[in-house]
Amino acid sequence: MSATLTDPEAIRGRFVEAMADRPEKLQKHANRVERGALHLAAVHELDRDICAAAAAGHDLFRHCKDAELLALSRSYSVPITEDELAAPIVLHGPLAAVYAREAMQVDHDEILSAITYHTTAHPDYSLESLAVFLADKVEPRKARNDPGLMAVAAAAEHDLYAAAAMFLERRLTSQLNSGQPLHPLAVASRNAFLRRAL
């Protein structure tokens, strides 16, 4: 068994190695997210290594279909709520974190938390985790397809909490308008970030 990884740079390296087997489109997305997270880390004086590592590993299982996500999550004993059963794509974050801890010997709670909740966010997210969350949501390709995300990207330059609340507000409103269920963590995160925004 390989040694436990606690150093963010080494963790990033392990994630990059694993991503080399993923679809090229996903690899390019992860690279864009890492660049965005590093930019926000520089703007807000955050830990660049933690941001880079979490960004590199956040989508290890994003290419999986719903049935595969459910099967793998059960295999790795990832908790599955009714909300995840309704939208299994949410499981790709928790699954990646559990896989990283158990199969890749990653031992870094903040990096694993950033990965676990990067779809819904989490009320107790660190600023580094928020930087990765926002970099994922407003990365250039997504922003080109949805110009409304540019306002979120602009807000992230000044206040990560306000930007994350703005993004979640847009997403939750869209889901409400289309009759989709709201994930409780996304709702709780939006409320928490609104309270913390400058």
- pLDDT tens across 157-172, in order? 999 999 999 999 999 9
pLDDT in tens, 65-99: 999 999 999 999 999 999 999 999 999 999 999 99
User: ∠ at Cα 26 (153, 18), nearest 5°?
Assistant: 120
| Residue 198 confidence (pLDDT) above 80 | no
Is 58 inside a domain boundary?
A: yes
49 pLDDT band (50/70/90 cuts)?
Answer: very high
The pLDDT confidence band at residue 60, using thresholds 50, 70 and 90, is very high
Q: What percent of the chain shows pLDDT beyond 90?
A: 98
For residue 4, give the DSSP letter.
Answer: P
Residues written for the chain: 198
182 falls within a domain: no
In a domain, 75, yes or no: yes
Phi, psi (degrees; rounded to nearest 5) at 97: -70, -45
DSSP run (H or E) holding 27? helix 24-44
Average pLDDT along the chain: 96
Please check whether residue 64 lies inside any domain of the structure.
yes
pLDDT level of residue 3 (50, 70, 90 thresholds) = confident
Please indicate, yes or no, if residue 172 is contained in any of the structural domains. no
Instruction: Collect contacts of 182-189 with beta carbons under 8 A, ≥24 apart.
Output: 183/83, 183/87, 183/90, 183/120, 184/83, 185/117, 185/120, 185/121, 185/122, 185/123, 186/120, 186/121, 188/123, 189/117, 189/120, 189/121, 189/122, 189/123, 189/125, 189/164
CB 93 within 8 A of CB 118: yes
* 77 domain-assigned: yes
Tell me, what CATH number does 16's domain have?
1.10.3210.10
Phi, psi (rounded to 5 degrees) for 120: -100, -20
Tens-place pLDDT, residues 97-140: 999 999 999 999 999 999 999 999 999 999 999 999 999 999 99
pLDDT at 25 over 60: yes
Q: In terms of residue numbers, what domain contains 117?
A: 8-139
Is residue 139 packed enough to be buried (19+ CB in 10 Å), middle (13-18) or exposed (0-12)?
buried
pLDDT of residue 2: 66
Residues 6 or more apart in contact with residue 117 via CB below 8 angstroms:
93, 125, 129, 133, 185, 189
CA distance 56 to 76: 21
Is 130 among the domain residues?
yes
Q: What percent of the chain has pLDDT over 70?
A: 98
Structure-block tokens of residue 26: 């996903």
The total domain count for the chain is 1
Is pLDDT above 70 for 1? Answer: no
pTM: 0.96
Residue 16 lies inside a defined structural domain of this protein: yes
Q: Which residues of 29-44 are buried (b: 16+ CB within 10 A; e: fewer)?
A: bbebbbebbbebbeeb
Q: Which two tokens stand for residue 150?
A: 């540019």
